A and B are shown apart, each in its own frame.
Chain A
Amino acid sequence: MTDTGEYTNRCECGWEVTGPLDEVVDATIEHGRRIHNMEASRDQVLAVLGAGQPDEPADLTA
C-alpha cells in the first residue's frame, strides 16, 4: 500500500471520503464513531482500505 496516492472509503450509508491515507483513516474513524457508534482503530481502517485497494499500482498502459 502506498500512502502517496488518493484513497477513497465509502460507508454503506452513502458517506464517502477521498484523500491522502491519513485523512481518509481519520475521517473514517470519526464518521464511524459519531454517526454509527463504531469504535474502529487505525489498524482496522487500514486493513479495510488495504483489502480493497491493492498494494501494487494498476497497470494503466495495458
Chain B
Amino acid sequence: MPGAEALSSDMTRDPVGWDVDSPIQAEVFVVWLDGDQILLTGPDGPHAWYLQLGPTEHPVEVVDRIVRDVVGPPLLVHSTSWRRDRDAVILSFVVVIEPGLVGSMESVPIGRAELARSEATVAPRDIAVEAVVEHGLRHLAWLAEDDPAVAATLPPGWRPILAAYVPEPFRALG
C-alpha cells in the first residue's frame, strides 16, 4: 500500500470523547441580568457546565472555586435541585454573576419552561435542561424572598424579574 504510511503521519483522526464521569457531578448554570432579561452563559458556551466532584470535596466550595478561577467572583452560588442522570447524581447549581464578568462568553436568553413533575413515589422519566433551569430560577425566586443574605446580595433589577417565577424550595427532580 504505497503512500499510506506517509498519509497516516499527517492525518487528523476522529476525535475521541472526554467526559466528566465521577459518580457525583455538579451542573452549573451561570446566569446574569441584562436589563430585564436573564441570560445563560458559561466558559464553554451558554449551556450546562459540568464539574467533577471528588468524594471528599464540598460541592459548593468546588463550584465557587472553579467559577471564581475561570469566570471571576460570583455573586451567588446556590444548589437548587438534584437528580439522577449521566450515570451519576447531578447537583444543579445556579450561579449569578455581574454583567462585567461576561466578557466574550456567549449568552442566550432564558425562556420559561414547564417543570418536570414527579409522581408521588416515582421520579420523572425525562428531565429537560430547560426544566432544570426553570426550577433553578424558581428556587432563586424563593431565596430572594426567604433568605436575607440572598435578598441583600442580588443586584437591583433581579427581584422584579424573579417575581414572575413561582417560588419553590430545593427539590429532587429525579
Contact = CB atoms under 8 A, between A and B. Distances in A.
B4 A9 contact: no
Q: Which of A6, A15, A36 has the most CB of B within 10 A?
A: A36
A58 B7 CA distance: 9
A37 B4 contact: no
Taking each of B4, B13, B70, which has the highest tally of chain A beta carbons within 10 Å of its own beta carbon?
B13
A16 B15 contact: yes
Nearest to A52: B16
**6 smallest A-B Cβ distances: which pairs?**
A52-B16, A57-B8, A10-B15, A13-B44, A8-B15, A6-B12
Contacts of A18: 12, 15
5 contacts: A6-B12, A8-B14, A37-B26, A52-B17, A58-B8
A11 B9 contact: no
Nearest to A8: B15
Contacts, number: 103
Interface in A18-62: 18, 28, 32, 34-39, 48-49, 51-53, 57-61
Contact of B10 (A6, A12, A51): A6
Contact of A38 (B13, B52, B69): B52
B16 A51 contact: yes
Interface of B: 1-5, 7-20, 26, 43-45, 47, 49-54, 57, 62, 66, 69-70
A37 B62 contact: yes
Nearest to B5: A57
Contacts of B2: 61
Nearest to A10: B15
Contacts of B5: 57
Contact of B15 (A35, A37, A52): A52
Contact of B19 (A5, A6, A11, A34): A11
B16 A53 contact: yes
Nearest to B50: A36
B16 A14 contact: no
A25 to B, nearest CB: 11
A5 B3 contact: no
